[in-house]
Amino acid sequence: MLMRILHGLLLLSISGLALAAEDRVFDVHVHIWEGEKSVKEYLGQLQSAGQDVAGFGGIHMAVLGKLDHTRAKNDDLVALSKRYPKLMPIASVHPYDGEAAFAELARLDALGVKAIKLHPHTQKFDAADERVLALCKRAGELGFVVLMDNANILPGDNQKLFNLALATPKTHFVFTHLGALEFRFWNILPLARTAKGLMENNIHFDIAGTVVLLADSPLEDEFVWTLRNVGIDNLLLGSDFPQMSLKQGVDALERLPLTEEEKRKIRWENASRLFSLEDLKSPAKPTAPR
Ligand SMILES: [Zn+2]
């Protein structure tokens, strides 16, 4: 009898573990505007919403010419990732800072940082500028994943980012918000992939905010069609905290008419592969998918 109970308990805990793995969520888009205060607010919001997170990308964005500030903020993120192991630091440089930006990239590489964020609108630069191209190329050589805002606030956003990714085939990009309301552009990808030698599979997206807006909207079917066209394997979930909560993003994704497997990939598996999350805490650089 005791053995039966023990066996039952074992089965229960195994299925519990399986469920936990199914439900894992990585939030790639969390703005850490105010250091530890932001981290605590983010975790507090998750707790009150009853939303678990397996890991999250904490984002900083560098200001042009403020080199000491940039280094300090990047160091702050790395320090926070030691205290909060779920936090993956997404550091930043400014593409117009020239050699200093390259030096900071090398320093971040030595610190084990795996990703940087660039934001043409917030950081006030042109995504088509040669300096952006050079920086993204270098970032890719060092193995960084480059997140870039793709909310189409600036004219030509999609087109510039697409050409940037074509020009730097060894750099893995995450274009955040998947073009927002201009998401239709990215349906060009399945056709572009048929052009021999044109592109690598280096374009990924997060669906932060956009998924909240488009779930249950008149555009929902077209959005789901787009998700499959750009490739379910290329999609990550993000909240864009503090503008939106992770719970909003998870719930919106759940409402989309996707399969369970597709949702699981978007919630966790794709991020896990792209950022080698199993060694989130080790300083070694990821080997896959490069
Ligand atoms: Zn954002």
Cα-to-centroid distance, 55 and ligand 1 (Å): 17
Ligand 1 center to 31 CA (angstroms): 6
Mean pLDDT of 245-250: 98
Ligand 1: centre distance to CA 245 (Å):
12
Instruction: Tell how far the Cα of 172 is from the centroid of ligand 1, in angstroms.
Output: 18
Quick one: average pLDDT of 167-173?
A: 97
| Ligand 1 center from residue 36 Cα (angstroms) | 18
Architecture category of domain 30-278 in CATH: Alpha-Beta Barrel (3.20)
Q: How far apart are CA 194 and CA 201, in angstroms?
A: 12
* Mean residue pLDDT across the chain: 91
In total, the chain counts a number of residues equal to 290
Q: pTM of the full predicted structure? A: 0.89
Give the confidence band of 197 by pLDDT, cuts at 50, 70, 90. Answer: confident
Domain ranges of the chain: 30-278
pLDDT tier at 279 (50, 70, 90 boundaries)? Answer: low
Single-letter code of the amino acid located at 250: V
- CA 193–ligand 1 middle distance (angstroms): 28
Given a cut of 50, whether residue 260 has pLDDT beyond it is: yes
- Ligand 1 centre from 244 Cα, in Å? 9
Distance 68 CA to ligand 1 centre (A): 23
Residue-wise pLDDT tens digits, 109-145: 999 999 999 999 999 999 999 999 999 999 999 999 9
| Residue 14 reports pLDDT greater than 60 | no
- Edge-to-edge strand order for the sheet containing 87-91? 26-31, 55-59, 87-91, 115-118, 145-149, 172-176, 203-206, 235-236
Considering only residues 17 and 115, tell me which one the structure prediction assigns the higher pLDDT: 115
C-beta of residue 132 within 8 angstroms of C-beta of residue 97: no
Across the range 238-259, mean pLDDT stands at 98
